[in-house]
Amino acid sequence: MLLYAGLRFGYLSYLNSQVTKADEKAQELERSLSAEEKARLTDFYSRIANIKQLLSNRSFVTPLLGEIERYASSKVQLTKIAYQRDNGLVQVSGIASSMEDFSAQVSEWRKINNVENVSFTGVSVVPNTNLVQFDGTIAMKKK
pLDDT tens sequence across 10-59: 777 887 888 898 889 988 888 898 888 888 888 888 878 777 766 665 44
User: Which band of pLDDT confidence, cut at 50, 70 and 90, is reported for residue 62?
Assistant: low
Counting Cβ atoms within 10 Å, is residue 25 exposed (0-12), middle (13-18) or buried (19+)?
A: exposed
When pLDDT is averaged across residues 65-70 and rounded to a whole number, the result is: 76
More confident residue, 15 or 116: 116
pTM check: above 0.85: no
Q: How high is the pLDDT of residue 86?
A: 76
Three-class SS of residue 117?
strand
97 vs 39: CA distance, rounded Å? 12
Residues, the chain: 143
When pLDDT is averaged across residues 83-111 and rounded to a whole number, the result is: 88
When pLDDT is averaged across residues 127-138 and rounded to a whole number, the result is: 91
